[in-house]
Amino acid sequence: MLMIRAIVRPEKSGKVMKALFEAGYVAVTKIPVYGRGKQRGIKIGEIHYDELPKELLIIVIKDEDKDFAVTTIVENARTGEKGAFGDGKIFISPVEEAYTISRGTNEL
């Protein structure tokens, strides 16, 4: 199993979540986050915004679903045809164990 953490623009998170749901990934955790990427924030006039609002989406998937899930996220989170700075980032890491709290059982 793999955990995908996708940091996306807030205005794109609904579209990404809908696409994931339609692709069969119904369990998603969404958390509002703030940060900056390589662009180091944004300057509008004389004001520099160091931390920008984003949404963190977390899903756990089967290893063999990785490419499909990543493509689904990228296609729905990207701004415009080629994308833009600040569209976000996707991180993937292995999941060694997972438990359902209500049952106390290991789900892997």
Tell me the two tokens of residue 11: 């205005």
Specify the pTM.
0.87
Domain range 2-106, CATH class: alpha beta
Query: Which one-letter amino acid corresponds to residue 31?
Result: I
Q: Residue ranges per domain, the chain? A: 2-106
Distance of CA 95 to the CA centre of its chain: 16
Residue linked to tokens 């359902």: 100
Encode pLDDT of 43-90 as tens digits: 677 777 777 899 999 999 999 999 999 999 999 999 988 888 789 999
Encode pLDDT of 34-53 as tens digits: 987 766 666 677 777 777 89
DSSP-based three-state secondary structure for 60: strand
